[in-house]
Structure 1
Amino acid sequence: MNFIRDNIFLICVALYCIGALVWPYIRKGAKITNSQATKIINKGKTAIIDIRDQKQYQAGHILNAVHVPLTSLQERIQKLEKFKGQPIIIVDESGKESDKAASILKKEGFSQINILKGGMTGWVGEGLPVTK
């Protein structure tokens, strides 16, 4: 008990640092690299949600990606209910819009949310496969 009282400031700083490191993962989804995404996809039963607009999606997307544009994600959340217990990978064009989608999904009870770093630009840039 004396230790806690004597070091309360250091304990508070340590708890704050731990919270700051964990908060992005709690609030949104984990940002994963292309190789991490590939490993998750290869394990099976992974939902890939492409939030880009129709034109971008038709130009090329990851195999088996479900197209739900960010602008209509909230209205079409029922379409994704079947994926609630699975790992989800959110894909956008450059990795900048996925946080919004992750927040929406988190509020709706989805828990295993991952965000593809660099989006489709990074995916294609590494020469990974896309389908039309």
Structure 2
Amino acid sequence: MPTLLAKHVHSLLKCLGAMLVFVLLTACQGDDFTALTPDSARTAYNSNPASFLDVRTQAEWDGGHLVGAEHIPLDKLEKSVSAVFPDKDQAIVAYCRSGRRASNAAQILKGMGYSNISVVVAGGYAELRQAGYPVEER
């Protein structure tokens, strides 16, 4: 039995990963934002109307971020967002390390009247980077 499991670990991990993405996406369906994977966010990244918002800490941002993204750490979002995004109908795609802070940011933005919010929920910055998005690193 252990040999059978060892032979199928890769398939099992892929299946578990797919299930995790499914759970994350369905968990966000009732929220007031669109849940995106790194692949589904590519269209938004390549279109001018959408702006990417990195809500990670300053140290995380300094370690690398998407080219063209705006940076507002989650704990400064309410104070700073209107200066960076004055148009509350502008398409904004929030990301962080895992999706949790970006989801919190989306809720804050919705509460402030922003209407077109998406969140990269699966994998965050590391997955965006791995998917080939252009990044700036110091």
The TM-score range, normalised by the shorter chain, is: 0.7 to 0.9
Which residue in the other structure is 2:80 paired with? 76
Question: How far is 1:31 from its partner?
Answer: 0.9
Q: 1:122 to 1:23 in 2, by over 3 A?
A: closer
Deviations 1:54-111 (A, max 9, x none): 1110111111111000011111132234242221100101112111100100011111
Are 2:120 and 1:121 aligned? Answer: no
Percent identity (aligned): 28
C-alpha distance in 1, partners of 2:66/2:28?
25
Aligned residues: 112
Partner residue, 2:100? 96
Distance 1:70 1:104, change over 3 A: same
* Amino acid in the other structure paired with 2:83: K
| Structure 1 counterpart SS, 2:136 | coil
Instruction: Measure how far apart 1:41 and its partner are.
Output: 1.9
Normalised TM-score (structure 1): 0.74
Whether the 8 Å CA contact 1:28–1:99 is kept in 2: the answer is no
Retained in 2: the 8 A contact 1:28–1:103?
A: yes
Q: 1:7-61, CA deviations, whole angstroms, 9 ceiling, x for partnerless residues?
A: xxxxxxxxxxxxxxx9945633111111221111212121111000011101111
Structure 2: gaps of 5 or more residues? 1-25
Partner of 1:62: 66
The answer on whether the counterparts of 1:34 and 1:123 sit within 8 Å (CA) in structure 2 is yes
Root mean square deviation of aligned Cα: 2.2
Pick closer, same or farther for the CA change 1:23–1:92 going to 2, 3 Å.
Answer: closer
1:130 paired residue among 114, 135, 138: 135
- Largest Rg, 1 or 2: 1
Contact 1:47 1:83 (C-alpha < 8 Å) held by counterparts: no
Task: Output the CA distance in 2 between the equivalents of 1:41 and 1:101.
Answer: 18
Instruction: Please give the alpha-carbon distance, in whole angstroms, between the structure 2 residues aligned to 1:111 and 1:62.
Output: 23
What 5-or-longer segments of structure 1 have no aligned partner?
1-21
